[in-house]
Structure 1
């Protein structure tokens, strides 16, 4: 049992300076003072943490990352390794949703599902999507709906690629069919059942999604396009999509070359979307960690890569506050409450009594992680290097 005293709480809403009681896997209480409770408990029963000069935030929810590794576009030696639990935890991430990517030949859904189970055993909450870039999707049971209904850890489908030379060039009808299968799976199992869409650098952007929605009864909330900050044109499409009621996800991992070529950081994109009237709850960030950041020339030839990291999520939170001038509750929502609510991850994304005790203690000035708790267990101390 832990009591964290005198800490400024962002749930992500600002709650002021309070005490937090953690017992078992849950937050038991958040009160102005728990001093009386502390004094009533037997010595040694509770560990008291002084939160002075610190901030408590919800554990981060990373809704799109490659926990079994990614890459491979440059041949076998360019395959990236499986992600390590310690690196995820040190980045303040306590809930993850894994996905396959380009390579579903040397990586499999069975491998992905096993990694999800391993991360759960190590102490964080983990789920995954069923599928990959290309159609037909690689699934566990042979049927997307069955995967979502029958396998607890599978909560949706993806990442299916569009506007990318590595995709299978799907039609609007094919995307609609997949979204329908995922939706039915979600309805039958009480899960989100969304279709995670990788949006590549093609000039068509998300026009296929607009066609799929216009030509069917599937609501646009069933599709979640990610990598929406590739350039200003795609961001503008994302603004229109979100204003019409859809969700948009932005990728925190990037490199300077991509920024020089026009990619827009999550923190900057957040400011732009809010300025254009997009509701905050429509916006999320994900790291794309574990996957490669491949560089292709104009002929589509592989030039090299960098590997994404979970630390990019808190990097973007800090930039949103220190550079973009946004308040901390606004900067935190896309990596906590918003993805948790969209994906129906019960007990996640908010600091409140009864929720899972997933929380991160940050230094008040630098906003860097000092301690990370997942389901009431201290899983990391000292933070991670960006």
Structure 2
């Protein structure tokens, strides 16, 4: 079936103006000022006046099998479902393990990823977890990345956190080297996703690896960079040395009251301080446990990450912090796709038909297609995961 969308303001994420978009199957066929079809083949025409058309969002950190739990077995968070992502305009997720790599395994992660792909989502994964030595699915990190399609790198490796394995500079350099070389051999980015905890050393270990080895700083992709203003300033330094940093959109009222910046605020702050708009991203940390610790690192509360927070942060960036639509979109489409080596996050003829239509006033997704499959219509999920329909 051919689908022709007319009358939308198109962001690819670069603003192209009011142009038409034609797609069929899994691919975008044309993006032109005025597309007309004269054919006896069936096609749908969508009048998208009053809407903005963008690439599907790329969420670069999601715990699709659930996360946690730092409060015992009962605190393990649930798995993500298809509509958790699709109704917020997310068509691509990058999955990872976190603190728990025992009851949450890479076998489970890959199985869940393949299931979500069957349901219509684009899913990629990181090998490893918070801890070093790296946990792998095969006999090595190299083989995980080279021979398993879904694996694109390693992470999220934790540093500056009491829950990390307290890795040394040498250990982190070795993992980065393995991931980098495996990526080179398999045509992947081999990105090292880094969980940055609240400890005062922040990015020091990453700067040390870049200073004392041949590993380029851009091989690392640190997330949770909006934990506090000092870490944001370190992030600006990291970007000026060529890296890309990520802000987490899921947070808690407690953390915001104790120095964490909202992701949209951190994005706007970095842009105002001269950081290139291609070096900033946002991710949801969806379905992660969000533990709340006191100054003695004792657990005092817990929340759960939400994929919908990515959409909320995009809206906040534009409507509250005066970030341009183009720049806010880049942070959740083309920028994360580029740092992770994914052929996603942009609209182009011949590219994948990951497309969302959002209301130009509310910025709420109205229609969502992933690889040409219609997942959301009129804000409602029309394609759900196999067991989402089961009521309790």
> TM above 0.5, one fold?
yes
Q: What's the counterpart of residue 227 of structure 1? A: 224
What's the CA shift for 1:243?
0.6
Contact preservation (8 Å) 1:229, 1:235: yes
Q: Does 1:156 align with 2:153?
A: yes
Larger deviation, residues 168-177 vs 137-146: 137-146
Structure 2 counterparts to residues 1-386 of structure 1, below 5 A: 1-34=2-35, 36-37=36-37, 40-42=38-40, 45-346=42-343, 348-383=344-379
Quote the Cα distance in structure 1 between the aligned partners of 2:105 and 2:214. Answer: 32
What's the secondary structure of 1:105's corresponding residue?
coil
What's the secondary structure of 2:19's corresponding residue?
strand
Quote the Cα distance in structure 2 between the aligned partners of 1:295 and 1:73. Answer: 10
Contact preservation (8 Å) 1:289, 1:310: yes
- Which structure 2 segments of 5+ residues have no match? 382-392
Quote the Cα distance in structure 1 between the aligned partners of 2:175 and 2:105. Answer: 19
Q: Deviations over 1:261-312 (max 9, x none)?
A: 1111121111111122211111111110010111112222222211111111
Contact preservation (8 Å) 2:254, 2:292: no
Q: Deviations over 1:6-56 (max 9, x none)?
A: 11101111111111111010110111112x31xx1226x111111011110
Q: Count residues with an aligned counterpart.
A: 380
- Which structure 1 segments of 5+ residues have no match? none
Quote the Cα distance in structure 2 between the aligned partners of 1:382 and 1:97. Answer: 26
Contact preservation (8 Å) 2:356, 2:369: yes
Q: TM-score by structure 1 length?
A: 0.96
What's the CA shift for 1:136?
1.4
What's the CA shift for 1:384?
7.3
Q: Deviations over 1:47-102 (max 9, x none)?
A: 11110111101100011110000021000110001100111111111011100000
What's the CA shift for 1:381?
2.2
Quote the Cα distance in structure 2 between the aligned partners of 1:153 and 1:33. Answer: 38
Quote the Cα distance in structure 2 between the aligned partners of 1:283 and 1:354. Answer: 26
Quote the Cα distance in structure 1 between the aligned partners of 2:267 and 2:299. Answer: 31
What's the CA shift for 1:314?
1.4
Contact preservation (8 Å) 1:370, 1:383: yes
What's the CA shift for 1:142?
2.5
Contact preservation (8 Å) 1:253, 1:309: yes
What's the CA shift for 1:124?
1.1
Q: Residues 23 and 282 of structure 1: is their aligned pair in 2 closer, same or farther, counting only changes over 3 Å? A: same
Quote the Cα distance in structure 1 between the aligned partners of 2:156 and 2:322. Answer: 32
What's the secondary structure of 1:106's corresponding residue?
coil
Contact preservation (8 Å) 1:91, 1:384: no
Contact preservation (8 Å) 1:10, 1:329: yes
